[in-house]
Structure 1
């Protein structure tokens, strides 16, 4: 199977496959989703099904041409896909592009980049600066930062280097820059998450507020019609009811900043009914009542909801669930960190979703990226943090 990409924004691929109705060595492989078009058959390669499924969601024009079966009973199919201008293949930021445009339009935000001594750590900061999102303060050992920049081919012109030796000292210095008003965003570089967050959540750093710190992913999932927020998949391991109240309110604030005026929040569990043996169902019901009483504001909440009912109105209807959130959820609140982390990684690695992650609830937003994140994910995360920083400044004024 080969894929070629041309300036005409078309993809051509030859996929060996088994015609419908014939048995054979590939008969056990996954089938193409029915909406993949007039082409039918079993996939010889799982990657082929992913390509066809992608084509069904993203192509504005596509043509399916069956080939002639070979001596082994298999046929080749040619799929020509004409991509629209908004397609993620040609627009790598997808639905996050407007967020990047908005952040750029508001001017660069001074950002303390903590210990960027790896290729990825430097590139995230330099590329964000090149796009006009941030003015980076690179906090760390200067020699190691310059070495990483040379390896990445990154130009440090326009970046300010602030010399600090070890990761924790760098995080502490970044917190001091925030307290003094010299930085409006903190960005994780190459240190471990617990080293950075240990400083951020400490009382000594002076970054805590009256609200619990939490993490929010803003995700662009191709199969979903709008941006989808997932919380908390990175900070709070097993949150109780009070912490979940803050997690929800933090996520509502993020949703509003990116343009969702009244977010619809789905409180996820394994089932849709309250079951005392499943604590997340009880907490979901309590959170809904807290919203009714004004303890959570600015959003429409419903739960407990299973994942299918949260994102599919048809699934909810089949189960007899009437909900203002089902099929329209803007925010998914997971029961615990394990569930959230698995959900977001499944969407990224199986569905090709773009994830922009940010820590909220502190005095300033924190860009918390993974070493495995793509450049697009790092830039989108930075854009969300910049929008939050600008909203905070406007609110203070």
Structure 2
């Protein structure tokens, strides 16, 4: 059946050993709160906090925590924080990389550096995992943060990147919906062509370990009745997807925010395709979402 909620995921992760995390630009209350919570439940040990050292120390003291439980590294800029964080990962001083209060460009640039970065797959892709009352299990949206308009080849990597997480969620063969605006191929709508080709690649055994269907409009992907009304009764994915592959970053970003604000969704995210789990939180994310992201990252830490 697989893991269907963050409470179930937390139960699994709590049975694992703690890992060291390094946080780039950690001088933020919500960032440190999520780290402290992760330490208290045993997910994280002796975190490395890079950023404005004085601010970091003050926040830790405000939480009533012992400064000796943390390694604090002073940094003068976001750019330096991002580079130092990746350096700690490369030197194997930490096993999970976490974004703090810095701009995404300063976080991703050292990760993607061809000489000193930690990219492992053909592409890096961000996945957000959602739990919401209106759906019967976890559902994820990818890529919603890194690749503006992925090519068909990049979408193949995006699909394959998800396998590691779904292994952790104990879902042997995740169902993948390739989203577009319609369910038929239209040569003027490139996402329909990509989806049809990727579905054919799956059917011919070129993509393994998934059940894939597309193109699917959102209603037919997520709702079985809508799929049946459009004569998609043979689809193994329609009405029951685990993963939504969006046609571009904008649609993924909008969909995720709609879930957050209108579907009472709990969420967490992780960047896949690197040599370690990478957490790419928004600067506006609260401590709860950051903690959920830490759970996801820890669940795959041995698998990357």
TM-score by length of 2: 0.94
Which structure is larger by alpha-carbon Rg, 1 or 2? 1
Match of 1:357, SS state, is strand
CA distance in structure 1 between the partners assigned to 2:15 and 2:169 by the alignment: 14
Query: 2:30 aligns to what?
Result: 120
Residues 172 and 205 in structure 1, CA contact (< 8 A), matched pair in contact too: no
Residues 1-397 of structure 1 aligned to structure 2 (within 5 Å): 95-135=5-45, 136-150=47-61, 155-321=66-232, 322-392=234-304
Residues 232 and 333 in structure 1, CA contact (< 8 A), matched pair in contact too: yes
- When the two structures are aligned, how many residues end up with a matched partner? 299
Once the 2 structures are TM-superposed, how far is the Cα of residue 206 of structure 1 from its aligned partner? 2.8
CA distance in structure 1 between the partners assigned to 2:173 and 2:11 by the alignment: 22
CA distance in structure 1 between the partners assigned to 2:64 and 2:260 by the alignment: 27
Residues 179 and 247 in structure 2, CA contact (< 8 A), matched pair in contact too: yes
CA distance in structure 2 between the partners assigned to 1:343 and 1:210 by the alignment: 25
The range that moved more, 276-285 or 129-138, is 129-138
Once the 2 structures are TM-superposed, how far is the Cα of residue 354 of structure 1 from its aligned partner? 0.8
Query: Which stretches of structure 1, 4 residues or longer, exceed 6 Å deviation after superposition?
Result: none
Say if 1:385 and 1:101 are closer, same or farther in 2 by CA, change over 3 A.
Answer: same
Once the 2 structures are TM-superposed, how far is the Cα of residue 153 of structure 1 from its aligned partner? 5.5
Unaligned runs of 5+ in 1: 1-93, 393-397
Once the 2 structures are TM-superposed, how far is the Cα of residue 103 of structure 1 from its aligned partner? 1.5
User: Deviations for 1:259-303, whole angstroms, at most 9, x for unmatched residues?
Assistant: 111000000001001111110000001111222333322100000
Residues 126 and 155 in structure 1, CA contact (< 8 A), matched pair in contact too: no
Once the 2 structures are TM-superposed, how far is the Cα of residue 222 of structure 1 from its aligned partner? 1.0
Once the 2 structures are TM-superposed, how far is the Cα of residue 150 of structure 1 from its aligned partner? 4.1
Residues 121 and 161 in structure 2, CA contact (< 8 A), matched pair in contact too: no
Say if 1:346 and 1:110 are closer, same or farther in 2 by CA, change over 3 A.
Answer: same
CA distance in structure 1 between the partners assigned to 2:268 and 2:262 by the alignment: 17
Once the 2 structures are TM-superposed, how far is the Cα of residue 212 of structure 1 from its aligned partner? 0.6
Unaligned runs of 5+ in 2: none
Residues 126 and 156 in structure 1, CA contact (< 8 A), matched pair in contact too: no
Residues 51 and 73 in structure 2, CA contact (< 8 A), matched pair in contact too: yes
Once the 2 structures are TM-superposed, how far is the Cα of residue 373 of structure 1 from its aligned partner? 2.0
Match of 1:274, SS state, is coil
- Please state which structure has a larger fraction of its residues in strand: 1
Query: 1:9 aligns to what?
Result: none
Once the 2 structures are TM-superposed, how far is the Cα of residue 230 of structure 1 from its aligned partner? 0.8
Higher RCO structure (Cα 8 Å, ≥6 apart): 2
TM-score by length of 1: 0.72
Match of 2:303, SS state, is helix
User: Deviations for 1:50-86, whole angstroms, at most 9, x for unmatched residues?
Assistant: xxxxxxxxxxxxxxxxxxxxxxxxxxxxxxxxxxxxx
CA distance in structure 1 between the partners assigned to 2:169 and 2:122 by the alignment: 20
